[in-house]
Chains A and B, each alone.
Chain A
Amino acid sequence: MSLLFILIPILASLAIFALRGTAVRNIALVATLANLAVTVFCGLTFEPGQAEQCAFHLPWVPAAGISFSLGMDGITLLMVLLTNLLAPLIVVSSFSRTFDNEPRYYGLVMLMIGALNGVFLATDGLLFYIFYELALIPIYFICAIWGGQDRIRVTLKFFIYTFIGSLFMLLSLLYVYLQTPGSHSFAWADLVAVQLTPDAAWWVMLGFFLAFAVKMPVFPFHTWQPDTYTTAPMGGTMLLAGIMLKMGIYGVIRWMVPLSPEAWGAWSPIFITLAVIGIVYASLIAVKQNDMKRLLAYSSIAHVGLIAAGILAWNKTGMQGGLIQMLNHGINVVGLFCIADLIERRLGTRSLADLGGIAKSAPKFATLFMIIMLGSVAVPLTNGFVGEFLLLNGVWNYNFWLGAIAGLTIIYGAVYMLRAYGMAMFGETNTETARFADVTTREGLVLGTIATLVVVLGFFPQVILNVTDGSVNRILGAMQF
């Protein structure tokens, strides 16, 4: 079952590479929808009590203890849901743009989705690492081929930065692997069983953290991110911000802390402090940004900083908040980048200073933007609220002052998002924005779906919390600090 999540997109991408014309769009859409259907099926048959479900196991290099193993618990299911819920939305919003060599574009997107699913499903350390690196390749090409100004320099930096980060993870993984008994094993359970000395664990956790901190990114490892998000084509930005950065957070939960729990006490104050600094720092920078995409990029650093801090606090509310927020942040950020792209396609600019009065010419768009913006600002009964509430509670439980400082995000978040909304939508129209056409059916479908999710998940967050509850209890129960 879990192999399907990887197989469907990869087969689709092969088919797309082989084909020409508009069929490739439909194949991409059908494949992502099929993946979504499989996800829903898994969700419905999911048994919260059980540890690992839908397992798939193939020996690979048995002598070295390497196997192609996939498995799913509640946390994985949530990540797979995130990936496969956003995938069709990303594909459909890409339809609004025409790309040179469309088969290549959609083929790479599908490859990317396959690799992302692989990252979340892998229960073998080496397989995890391979998927983690594999996901970098399609996104590199997507950004380097269809990106904006200065794309080669920006994308190269992104690639090298994250690649070097991952090498540290590989070192950590190999070290732990070499401590496994017998002929060694990369299986998650075997790696977790290894008892490290505090000194060794200190280095192992640092290695993992460097990889994941660059990927999320956490302050001060974030400087590749605003340029990359701004330069990448919209679909690429959505993949990066909506899904790919969650690989880092997921890695913290699944690999970093479980493999080196001995070092949590030493590192967590530093990591959480960095994350909290990042929240305030990135929010402050977002306050004066004029480019919508760059503003969203910095806001994403702030949001992810909070998720990272909450999860690193390693308590129930922080962990559950972080997990549900990964899904909801993904939904909202895809919606917001979709909105930025819609504006750019209509007006040829994302500069807030050139906008204004759009609410007058495009009332439906204004409403959808408002709802999604409110989700991002975490107004209660929108999807953003529960995660932020639980995360802040988690950080606050870890340390009162860090929680209070992280809480500034509810103020700054409102400052920069309402400023952006006001500058774009309110005021008198100018000659350009007066002709701003309201959403098309396709755009309405994407933004409408997202807005609906914002409200429905805002009223009924427990549906999602239930998915991860059992797994979170298990992981926290196994590692109590």
Chain B
Amino acid sequence: MNQLLPLIPFLPFLGFVINGLFGKNMSKTAVGLIGSGTLLASFLLTVACFNQVSTSGPIQSVLYNFLTVGNLQINFGFLVDHLSVWMMLIVTGVGFLIHVYSIGYMHDDAGFWKFFAYLNLFIFSMLLLVMGDNFVMLFFGWEGVGLCSYLLIGFWYTNRDYGVAARKAFIMNRIGDLGLLLGIFLIFKTYGSLDYAEVFARLGNGDTATITTICILLFIGAMGKSAQIPLYTWLPDAMAGPTPVSALIHAATMVTAGVYLVARCNGLYSLSPDALHLVAIIGTFTAIFAAIIGLRQNDIKKVLAYSTVSQLGLMFLALGMGAYSTAIFHVTTHAFFKALLFLAAGSVIHGMGGEQDIRNMGGLRKAMPITFWVFLIGTFAISGFPLLSGFFSKDEIFAYAYGHGGPIWWGLGLLTTVLTTVYMCRLLYVTFFGDFRGTDEQKHHLHESPKVMTIPLMILATLAVVGGFLNTPHFLHLGSAQWLAHWFSETGAAGSSVIPMAEMHLEESTEWALMLITTGLVLALIVALYFVYTKRDNLPVADSAQSSLARLIAHKFYVDEIYDFLFIKPTERLSKLFHYYVDIQGIDGLVNGVGRGVEGLGTQFRKLQNGNIEYYLIGMVAGVVLLFLTLFL
């Protein structure tokens, strides 16, 4: 397996090269087959890896020495341990389903081949990110996925707004990347290496202040990539990209890279309570803030985008509580149900001929039964309907919030769940129930999507239903309790647990009580909201008819406008100011002034000079030539 390891990322890379160079002249079937076929092969190899990791521990493989400068040595090397292989399964597995779906979704697009080339490049980058055996490899993947995100958000490049959204995503990510980069420098300075195995084996070498600085710098990177306050505003705009992109990059995989990073460095974070505290605060605040904004969005993808930001916040809450494997568990279930929701939304958009405003939908369950059912499953899963995937992963987060943080943290988590259930049920009921509110033309066009799209939806729906059983809480006595957490706690490359088991200090009765309160509330809401949002009077109103509070929320609390005022406008003003006043008039003016002064003095010597520089130059050349001649004579 060690020799085959590089194939896992490089097969999709090959797909990128083939489709990128020749895709334009190939049939769409061939492009789709190469795009998804290479990924399927990667997935199967990953499954083989999974088996080997389970039986005989981490796999390592070095492809070549990327760079050696002094004692800084960086290999193009892979480390596949329990955490890596888990992320790889998600990336290649969910990624494959989304590729297949895209064959149908993008079928009529002129850039079909380019789309698949970019998707494969993304998978390559994402695999480097999770498979790398050192921080620089992580950084390769980290920036690589950012690039692919840029390319895919701006996929329909003739629309300038989409191009702007793409740029915003890239630049906001770069802000985070600077933090990550400085964190990497500090790790190297502190531990003398950037290899995971070496760094995590010498964690004790750093003092607490340094470790806290490292953790905060890395977390700045995570904020950018995983869209946390204050670097979250790019993600909703990223919905400009085709919907499969939103599902793959902006829900299931790339945006969880920040969670992966913190989980990967759990040893470091566990040594810094301050950093963990910061992670929990930012995560929780983001979770609630984004969920509130989600309440008043009318674009089907925007609701899901804010939902993603909010769910990522919950993952960081889990990380902040020291429950690293719980965060990865939620990454997993979220990948299932959020990819499902996005793809189902894509199916709706496909069926509606490009319409994304839920105020123009309604009653779609009749025309699109499969899409409806899978969307319903996704909605229930994210809300925490009993025994569906989100129920288990969220319940575990809240249990740790209560156990490690206290009732306040649990209450904030509960608030997020309530908000989540409200905006998701609103989305479900307004879109699929009631009467159709679109144009006659749309009504005529309305259709269920083809099988190539619905089959991936059904598979994801199945996963969204059963995914929670990967890690059931021990007090329910369902199968092998906390299987995933146990699995992650096995020995990794550094000689310690990949992710140590988090301790749970709660009484079983408390856990039962917490779970029942949450679940009861969610169920009640699901039922109550049905009666609210299937009534015509309660449907979302036109923008002009909004109350001022609703408008404040619908406009996302004007955060974009505030950023524009605080950062973008001043930068642009500074740019012009520096150019005209400092550069041209200031510095260059001074230079010219000195020049003129010298010229004034020079008038004395005018008789000796004719002012034509070319004559001097020729004189100079002649002089040098003479000099050289003396050399050879």
Contacts and interface: CB of A to CB of B under 8 A. Distances in A.
A60 interface: yes
B557 interface: no
Interface stretch (A21-29, A87-95, A152-160, A181-189): A152-160
Contacts of A320: 69
Interface string A272-300: 00000000010011111100000000000
A462 B76 CA distance: 12
A134 interface: yes
B627 A130 contact: yes
B69 A381 contact: no
Interface string A153-179: 000110111000000000000000000
A397 B167 CA distance: 31
Say whether chain B's binding surface is mostly helix, strand, loop, or mixed.
Answer: helix
A357 interface: yes
Nearest to A462: B67
Contacts of A422: 154, 160, 163-164, 166-167
A284 B70 contact: no
Interface string B190-211: 0000000000000000000000
A456 interface: no
B588 interface: yes
Nearest to B143: A380
A60 B178 contact: no
A419 interface: yes
Given A223-B583, A359-B157, A380-B140, A461 B66 contact: yes
Given A285-B579, A407-B182, A317 B617 contact: no
A403 interface: yes
A19 interface: no
A220 interface: yes
Contacts of B574: 284
A461 B67 contact: yes
Nearest to B628: A68
Pick from A144, A281, A381 the residue with the most CB of B within 10 Å: A381
Contacts of B571: 284, 287
Nearest to B160: A427
A59 to B, nearest CB: 9
A285 B583 contact: yes
A386 B67 contact: yes
A426 B160 contact: yes
B552 interface: no
Contacts of B154: 422, 426
Contacts of B182: 396, 403-404, 407
Given A287-B571, A419-B167, A316 B70 contact: yes
A386 B74 CA distance: 11
Contacts of A380: 139-140, 143-144
A220 B66 CA distance: 37
Nearest to A316: B70
Given A414-B171, A462-B66, A374 B147 contact: yes
Contacts of A286: 575
A285 B575 contact: yes
A281 B578 CA distance: 8
Interface string A428-442: 110000000000000
Given A287-B571, A410-B178, A381 B144 contact: yes
Contacts of A144: 614
Interface residues of A, number: 68
Bin chain B's interface residue count: 35 or more
Contacts, number: 146
A379 interface: yes
Nearest to A156: B613
Contacts of B576: 288
Pick from A61, A380, A465 the residue with the most CB of B within 10 Å: A380
Interface in B34-68: 64-68
A427 B167 contact: no
Contacts of A403: 182, 185
Interface string A90-130: 00000000000000000000000000000000000000001
A282 to B, nearest CB: 9
B25 interface: no
A61 B425 CA distance: 91
Contact of A137 (B140, B167, B178, B621): B621
A58 interface: yes
B595 interface: yes
Interface string B528-551: 000000000000000000000000
A287 B575 contact: yes
B523 to A, nearest CB: 47
B26 interface: no
Interface in B116-156: 136, 139-140, 143-144, 147, 150, 154
Contacts of B66: 461-462
A270 interface: no
Contacts of A427: 157-160, 163
B221 to A, nearest CB: 12
Nearest to A414: B174
A160 B598 CA distance: 11
B367 interface: no
Contacts of B175: 411
B109 interface: no
A396 B189 CA distance: 10
Interface string B573-614: 011101100111001100110010000000000000000011
A137 B147 CA distance: 43
Given A380-B143, A462-B66, A287 B170 contact: no
Contacts of B582: 281
A418 interface: yes
B181 A285 contact: no
Nearest to A416: B575
A407 B178 contact: yes
A157 B595 contact: yes
Interface string A211-243: 000000000101110100000000000000000
A328 to B, nearest CB: 13
B578 A285 contact: yes
B575 A284 contact: yes
Contacts of A220: 587
A284 B136 CA distance: 28
B452 interface: no
Query: Ordered nearest first, which 9 A-B pairs have the shortest CB separation?
Result: A223-B588, A426-B163, A316-B70, A288-B575, A380-B140, A426-B157, A427-B160, A287-B575, A422-B163
11 contacts: A60-B631, A130-B627, A157-B595, A281-B578, A281-B582, A389-B181, A390-B69, A396-B185, A422-B166, A461-B66, A462-B65
Given A160-B595, A285-B578, A427-B160, 14 more contacts: A137-B620, A141-B614, A157-B592, A223-B587, A285-B579, A316-B72, A374-B147, A380-B144, A390-B67, A404-B182, A411-B175, A418-B170, A422-B166, A426-B158
